[in-house]
Amino acid sequence: MAKIRDSWGTRLGIIMAVAGSAIGLGNFLRFPAKAASNGGGAFMIPYFVSLFLLGIPLMWIEWTLGRYGGGFEHGTAPGIFHSLWQKNRFIKYFGVIGIFGPLVIFIYYIYIESWTLAYSFFALFGKYAQLRDQAAMQNFLTNFQGLGNDQYFESLGWAYFFFLITFILNIGVIYHGIKGGIEKLCKWAMPLLFIFAIILMVRVFTLGSPDAANPGWNALGGLGFLWNPDFSALKSAKVWLEAAGQIFFTLSVGIGVILTYASYLAKGDDVVLSGLTASSTNELAEVILGGSIIIPAAFAFFGPVDIKTIAQSGVFNLGFVTMPLVLNKLPFAALFGFCWFGLLFLAGITSSVSLAQPAVAFLEDEFDINRKKSVSIFASVAFILCQPAIFFLGRGVVDELDFWGGTFFLVIFAAIEVILFAWVFGMERAWDEIHKGADMRVPKIYKFIIKYITPLFLFFILGMWLWQEWLPIIFMKNIPAANQPFILMTRIGLLALFLILGLLVKIAWMRKKKQMQRIR
């Protein structure tokens, strides 16, 4: 029985949806924090090298493989990998990462997204309006997260309330499907997000030099901090790892999400120009908008030394502490604060729905469960999985999830994809497949890059990482003793989740085999 898979409504719709997935908290929070803590200009060279050698090739690979797999009615990596290499019985289990990874990111991403919703309301209703220094604003944040005293919030109640609203909104969107839910959301949320970002950018550039004693501390100085190249940093392995990780994270590649989105394309739909457009839109939002809000604003008020220290003290400090503080010093603070957190929320929700979709598509495609039921199953499981991230945030659970879901498996999965594409499927066939229905040709040099440079670069990063960090991570060397039991439990939980998904893949394939035998 042929079932009808969901599809995208328009070409602009899918580009908006992929750009919506890519443009997220990563662009406006993670990127400025990574750039600032790695010394600004030192970060941007490895960042752009990674964009051209890893990010863009993987974007094309995932669009192509996704569309190819969709032709076999597979929307997730186990089925897509199996269609590529039918003789190999094990390859589908490598594809488990393509469901597991997005689910793991979803668990903590949606909680952080809910803070942005909460803070939009706090800004509008002046809940933090009287706070004037870094320490007080930091205290407000930790208090909200249930980690400090109860000066501003008596319990985790408000955080939990906003989490519930955010969760329900996300589930509501995916419940309405690809065209009716995700595409519709992205079509209005993306333009609004750009409007908010441009308003903030203009505001930051009209700040002048707020500190009379330091006339060089202004928005332009902030741009200099971000853009003046520092060639000496090219020798640092850590900067390379972080830059490559940021490229994957920001483009949403190397984790299976774009595979799933592209599986809803039709056979003759262009992937070359669409993939490039979505990536360019993301980069515009990251380096132009993401780089022109927090960094120049924080630079103008705190200068080059403090900005680095603040960024190094935690990924969220620039966004949830410094930025509201800067805006508090300006007229119409409530409005600009609302713009800032509203921007983050829109960026967040258009990304989190994409993280939910692979698990839903897996249930639909491989178990023939209808969408509404699949979404209900997903919602029940994801809701339970979110709880440790909320209640054990202070124990480092979110950092642990981000490391495995948002860094480690990204590199592994990307390496598997590129090998399958260029070496198993074969570069000649792959090149033809990319160009089916294409509106432009991929520059020829990418044939060489995809076949040799991208995999070598990935292996190099992985090897370097294993060499430098494997043992301390396994033995939890950098984790305080009191948190170690929580981290261990998180790891056991993740392993169990991975094994359960592997088992589901096995069951799905056995079911299909039986169905085929019955038909014969």
Cβ–Cβ < 8 Å for 92, 79: yes
Least separation in angstroms between CB 240 and ligand PFF: 19
Interface residue with ligand PFF among 14, 18, 21, 374 (CB under 6 A) is 21
Interface residue with ligand PFF among 83, 170, 274, 351 (CB under 6 A) is 351
Closest CA to 71 of 158, 7, 126: 7
Distance separating alpha carbons of residues 69 and 435, to the nearest angstrom: 16
State yes or no: residue 279 binds ligand PFF (CB under 6 A).
no
Closest CA to 39 of 321, 207, 213, 243: 243
Least separation in angstroms between CB 248 and ligand PFF: 8
Our CB check for ligand PFF shows the closer of 145 and 250 to be: 250
Least separation in angstroms between CB 232 and ligand PFF: 28
Burial class (CB within 10 angstroms; exposed 0-12, middle 13-18, buried 19+) of 450: buried
Our CB check for ligand PFF shows the closer of 30 and 371 to be: 30
Distance separating alpha carbons of residues 202 and 406, to the nearest angstrom: 32
Our CB check for ligand PFF shows the closer of 259 and 508 to be: 259
Our CB check for ligand PFF shows the closer of 351 and 454 to be: 351
Residue that has been written with the tokens 């309301």 in this structure: 121
State yes or no: residue 255 binds ligand PFF (CB under 6 A).
yes
- Pattern 87-126, binding to ligand PFF, x per CB under 6 A? ---------------x--x---------------------
Q: Which of residues 352-371 bind ligand PFF (CB under 6 A)?
A: 354-355
Cβ–Cβ < 8 Å for 37, 316: no
Q: In this structure, what DSSP letter does residue 263 have?
A: T
* Backbone φ, ψ for residue 7 (5° rounding): -150, 170
Q: Which stretch binds ligand PFF (CB under 6 A): 147-155, 158-166, 180-188, 350-358?
A: 350-358
Least separation in angstroms between CB 19 and ligand PFF: 10
Cβ–Cβ < 8 Å for 448, 430: no
Q: Which stretch binds ligand PFF (CB under 6 A): 18-26, 176-184, 298-306, 419-427?
A: 18-26
Our CB check for ligand PFF shows the closer of 219 and 400 to be: 400
State yes or no: residue 414 binds ligand PFF (CB under 6 A).
no
3-state secondary structure (DSSP) of residue 352: helix
State yes or no: residue 259 binds ligand PFF (CB under 6 A).
no
Least separation in angstroms between CB 255 and ligand PFF: 4
Distance separating alpha carbons of residues 520 and 514, to the nearest angstrom: 10
State yes or no: residue 275 binds ligand PFF (CB under 6 A).
no
Residue that has been written with the tokens 């409504």 in this structure: 9
Least separation in angstroms between CB 23 and ligand PFF: 6
Q: Which stretch binds ligand PFF (CB under 6 A): 24-32, 322-330, 449-457, 498-506?
A: 24-32
Our CB check for ligand PFF shows the closer of 271 and 349 to be: 349
Least separation in angstroms between CB 252 and ligand PFF: 4
Closest CA to 153 of 162, 165, 145: 145
Size of the site for ligand PFF (CB under 6 A): 16
Least separation in angstroms between CB 163 and ligand PFF: 18
Cβ–Cβ < 8 Å for 121, 278: no
Return the half-sphere exposure (C-beta side, CA atoms, 13 A cut-off) of residue 2. 4
Distance separating alpha carbons of residues 12 and 183, to the nearest angstrom: 9
Residue that has been written with the tokens 């209703």 in this structure: 125
Least separation in angstroms between CB 282 and ligand PFF: 8
Cβ–Cβ < 8 Å for 189, 350: yes
State yes or no: residue 250 binds ligand PFF (CB under 6 A).
yes
Closest CA to 389 of 170, 119, 103: 103
Q: Which stretch binds ligand PFF (CB under 6 A): 21-29, 137-145, 328-336, 418-426?
A: 21-29
State yes or no: residue 25 binds ligand PFF (CB under 6 A).
yes
152-159: list long-range contacts, CB under 8 Å, 24+ apart. Answer: 152/127, 152/128, 156/390, 156/391, 158/118, 159/114, 159/115, 159/118, 159/390
Interface residue with ligand PFF among 13, 27, 242, 322 (CB under 6 A) is 27
State yes or no: residue 257 binds ligand PFF (CB under 6 A).
yes
Our CB check for ligand PFF shows the closer of 25 and 131 to be: 25
Least separation in angstroms between CB 280 and ligand PFF: 15
Interface residue with ligand PFF among 43, 60, 249, 301 (CB under 6 A) is 249
Distance separating alpha carbons of residues 418 and 93, to the nearest angstrom: 16
Three-state secondary structure string covering 56-116:
HHHHHHHHHHHHHHHCCCCCCHHHHHHHHCCCCCCHHHHCCHHHHHHHHHHHHHHHHHHHH
State yes or no: residue 50 binds ligand PFF (CB under 6 A).
no
Query: CA geometry: angle at 84 spanning 78 and 88, to 5°?
Result: 75
Least separation in angstroms between CB 94 and ligand PFF: 17
Cβ–Cβ < 8 Å for 107, 382: yes
Our CB check for ligand PFF shows the closer of 116 and 483 to be: 116
Residue ranges binding ligand PFF (CB under 6 A): 21-22, 24-27, 102, 105, 249-250, 252, 255, 257, 351, 354-355
